[in-house]
Amino acid sequence: MRILFKQILIQDSRSSFFGKKADLLAENGRWLEIGSSIQAEADEVISGSDFQWFPSLVDLRVHHTLPGGEHKEDWTSLQAAAWKGGVLDMLLLPTGDPVPQQPEAIQYIATKLEGTGVTCYPSAPLTLDNKAENFSDLMGLHESGASWFSHGAGSLQDTDLMLKCLQYLQPLPVKVISRPDVKGLSLFGQIHEGLQSTLLGMKGIPVLAETMHVKRDLDLLRYVMQHSFGLANPDFALHFSCISTAESVSLISEAQQQGLPVTADVAIYSLIFTEDAVSEFDTLKKVNPPLRSENDRLALWKGLKEGVIAAVVSDHHPVEVENKELEFDQANFGTIGLETLALAFIKEAKNQGLTKIDNFLSHAPAAFLGILQPELKVGEVMKGIVITEEEKVYELEDIISKSKNSIFLGHSFSHQIKGVFNGLNHSYGQ
């Protein structure tokens, strides 16, 4: 089958056509010809005055509900939500019940969506059942394909345990993921500790809960690297997920300048909203980390522009309606986000003056996973999304995920995804 894209704006920063319009011809899922003007017969012609070609997305933070959480998200709805949002590669947290912690479970997850156009990369738990009591089979899990380890969706509170995990894993080409949060400081917190928590009379989650944990983990990493005897693997790194404060950006930047193997990502909602969004007790805005101050939001954008933060993630966290439609202090944290990651980031990134938008959604997170996104050149697999400029308010009926807890309900997007393509798997006109 042949597909011809006519005069589509190329938004793949690796392409020689970046920022220009070009014709693209694909046959049987691979690029056959790329040029300024292609005259060829095709089974399907895709054209539009404002159509744009982006690489597909790589999402580094998806809460895995399986097994045990099929009522919130099952494999079919997970794949459908990812596909609709153009997320064709995603890193799953070890958050099922029971926790996927056997080599066989890792291999099963990695191949579960094979052939659908979406690929899952399972991260493994640092400790059995994420209980911070006994180590999981770290080496066995790595040999089975896991190159990413985390403490469920959070981080180890036990300092000695975290130190030993870093010491054990540093000779391997793996990433240790930490969602920094000192539980003793954030316990019972509902929103960011600031003006809104004072006005609304709710316990706040202080910036200190995040930054103290960042400082601790950086100190542990520094100690491990100083005592690695040259055995640290060059691909080993500590990765901070969902940082949300200006001070965290500063601390991580300083550590990177010192040569420490440390990376970071930010949740899309932390780049869009601030603490003011919860002023009306909207539980859809209840996320963790909480929505911070405007100063923090701007610092996160600065961190992206300066390369301190490598990737933007959805933090896709399905929550059933029964646990969202409650009083604010009783409602669960979390928002879904696979379907809206591209749309939300592209709109705000353009406002921020970013040019290579694809780097934060595709190339940098792909490098983190150790995979290569196919390039836009003859012979390579056709893998990407077609986006058009179209203002539209995101409504409940737009959601195909099983859970409907989107922080972006009622939010207006300036672009829409018109097609998703991955080799022989493709859909157009959604």
- Condensed to tens digits (0 to 9), the pLDDT of residues 138-190 reads 999 999 999 999 999 999 999 999 999 999 999 999 999 999 999 999 999 99
The secondary structure of 98-167 as a DSSP string is S---SHHHHHHHHHHTTTTT-EEEE-EESBGGG-SSSB--HHHHHHTT--EEEBTTB----HHHHHHHHH
Instruction: Compute the distance between CA of residue 190 and CA of residue 205 in angstroms, rounded to an integer.
Output: 7
pTM: 0.96
Indicate if the pLDDT at residue 359 is higher than 70: yes
- Condensed to tens digits (0 to 9), the pLDDT of residues 101-145 reads 999 999 999 999 999 999 999 999 999 999 999 999 999 999 999
Instruction: Compute the distance between CA of residue 306 and CA of residue 420 in angstroms, rounded to an integer.
Output: 30
- Condensed to tens digits (0 to 9), the pLDDT of residues 360-407 reads 999 999 999 999 889 999 999 999 999 999 999 999 999 999 999 999
